[in-house]
Structure formats: structure tokens, C-alpha cells
Amino acid sequence: MTPIASSEREAAPDREAAPAPAAGSGAGAAAAQVPAAGSAFAAAAPQGPVADGSAAESADTPAPAPRSRQPARSTRIAQQPAFVLHSYPYKETSLIVELFSRDHGRIALVAKGAKRPHSRLRGVLQTFQPLSVGWSGKSEVRTLTAAEWVGGMLPLEKSALLCGFYLNELLVRMTAREDPHPALFDHYVATLNQLAHDEPAPVVLRKFELALLKETGVAADITVSARSGRAVVAENAYVVDPEQGAREAMAAELAPIVAGKTLLDMEREDYSDSVTLAQSKLLLRYLLAHHLGGTPLSTRQILIDLTQL
């Protein structure tokens, strides 16, 4: 591993307060961001101390000594595998960077001085490139202290690049801050490699979408009927309730109806059947829309627009 950059030292960690990102959604990169994404990421503003509302004491009762408040523990992390999901400007010379790290999940960091013309961070904080990063601080938006390019992965190009932004937007929208998902991180790395090596994007994306739903804990078992408790039968028809899981299809259904074989193929990551591939696309789109609250993904709309050109 060849060190490429470390965070600029113009200010000590946490000496410069970082604002919470604006609410919304989107995906982007340090150098290039997805259109319409903007600064679309949310972080709760830190709350100040809450006043103690105890009743007034009598004149002859001594006032209680003020309770000491335990200071928040400062965190210092080094050499953490991570990828840039999105970044946007902060003040005149810095960036707020959303990272997906292997052992700490999604993290928001201030990259101080990263916008300066001669900052070495400008060439390092790029999307879809493996990094080894470090940070410190005790607020929700912490301070980047080191960033090194690890290498070893091909860059994404053309349609694969847009698919990569789609993955990043899903991660930003579907994962909580500082919620570790090491298995999902490994799946993300594998997905980027598959896209870079021109493997069929529909298959690669379906695998990642289902892995994302499983790893974030919102996907119920699709191989067992939640209604009957019996194993899914390949020849039968089913719907998948976003909250309850698979069940036998009724005469009139609003949810997509899929074959039992499709559900079993999805569980095995076998998309060689064209019917499985088509039905899984509709099903996963339906499930993701539910868990995203109906808010459309910016990158998905771009993909749809491009296919209609």
C-alpha cells in the first residue's frame, strides 16, 4: 500500500465544528456527483445540554451540587477499509465526505482543505476506489485524519459507472450512520469488481439489491410462506409482503406476483432463467420503493431516461 495523502493539518480534529448535512437523498462522488443529488444527505444536529427542571428548594435547604456531565468520548480510527459514497463542499476549502467503511458502516467526515488546488486529498477521495482511511472526533460528523489509495480495482466506465452511483445512492438511503455491515461491505466490493469486468449489470444489481435488503434487516424469508409456514413450491404463485415475507398469491393482488421458482432462484443467486430475471426486477423494485418510503432514486430515473433515448 502506497500512502497517497493524509488530512491537512490546518486545524486539530474537532476544533472546527462541522454542520449536519442537509436533509434529502442522493449519491455522488468527490469529483463528480450524480445530477439532482446535490447536498442530499441528512445528519441530526447535535443537541445542547437539557436544563434540569427540578422543583425549587426551600430557603433552608442547601441547593444540590451541580451534576457533572460525562464528556463524550473521542474516537480515533486508523487504517479502516472504506469507499467514498458521496461528497459535497463545506466552507471554502473543505468537503463533507460520506464513506462506507467495513467495520464502522457509513460515516460522515470533514476533509479539511480538500478543495484547495494543491491538496493531495483531491486525487484520493474518489468514488469506487478502495481506500484506507483514519478519522477522529466525537461529533456525528468527524474529522478525516488520513486517506490512502489502496488500488487493485479497475475503474468503472460508461454504464457501469452509473450503476456504481446507483449502488452508492442505495447505501446512503438504506443504511444508518455508524451501523456496521461487514458482509454488505464485502458484497459491495464484489459488485464493483463484477461491474468493472463487464458482467451483466441486471444480474449484478439484482444480487446486490437482495443482499442489501437482507443485511439491513428489512427482508423477510422468501423461501417459506409467512401465511402457511410451508416451504415455497417452485410451481406455485406468490407475492412478497415487504414487512411479512412471501405468501401464496390470491385472486387479486396489488403486489407483483412471482413464481415460487423465482424466489428460490433469487435465494440461490441463480438468474440464468429469463423469467426469474424479469420477475425479480419487478419484485425488488417494489420492495425497495416500500422501504424508501416511495421517494424515487435519482440514479434509477437517470438509468430509465438513458434507456429511452
pLDDT digits (tens, 9 = 90+) for 28-79: 333 334 333 333 333 333 333 333 443 333 334 444 444 434 445 668 999 9
Q: Which of 132 and 69 is assigned the larger pLDDT?
A: 132
Stated pTM of the model: 0.75
Please indicate, yes or no, if residue 69 is contained in any of the structural domains.
Answer: no
Residue 105 zone, left/alpha/beta (φ > 0; ψ -120 to 50; rest) = left
- pLDDT tens digit string along 255-268? 999 999 999 999 99
Which set of grid coordinates corresponds to residue 189? Answer: 466490493
DSSP lists the bridge partners of residue 149 as 131
**pLDDT at residue 4 greater than cutoff 70:** no
What distance in Å separates the CA atoms of residue 7 and residue 11, rounded to the nearest whole number?
A: 10
- pLDDT tens digit string along 75-117? 899 999 999 999 999 999 999 999 999 999 999 999 999 999 8
Could you tell me if 102 and 126 lie in one domain? yes
**Ranges assigned E (strand) in 42-90:** 75-90
Number of neighbours of residue 34 by Cβ within 10 angstroms: 22
Show which of 149, 175, 209 is a domain's final residue: 149
- pLDDT tens digit string along 169-195? 999 999 999 999 999 999 999 999 999
Measured between its terminal Cα atoms, the distance across the chain in Å is 43
**pLDDT at residue 296 greater than cutoff 50:** yes
Number of neighbours of residue 120 by Cβ within 10 angstroms: 17
DSSP lists the bridge partners of residue 76 as 136
Could you tell me if 166 and 276 lie in one domain? yes
Could you tell me if 247 and 121 lie in one domain? no
Residue 11 sits in a domain of what CATH number? 2.40.50.140
2 pLDDT band, cuts 50/70/90, is very low
Could you tell me if 140 and 168 lie in one domain? no
pLDDT of residue 208: 98
pLDDT of residue 307: 61
Could you tell me if 132 and 185 lie in one domain? no
In the three-class reduction of DSSP (H, G, I as helix; E, B as strand; rest coil), residue 167 is classed as helix
Please indicate, yes or no, if residue 260 is contained in any of the structural domains.
Answer: yes
DSSP lists the bridge partners of residue 133 as 80, 147
Show which of 149, 171, 188 is a domain's final residue: 149
If one counts the domains in the chain, the total is 2
| Domain span at 13 | 7-40+75-149
Please indicate, yes or no, if residue 300 is contained in any of the structural domains.
Answer: yes
Show which of 118, 149, 180 is a domain's final residue: 149
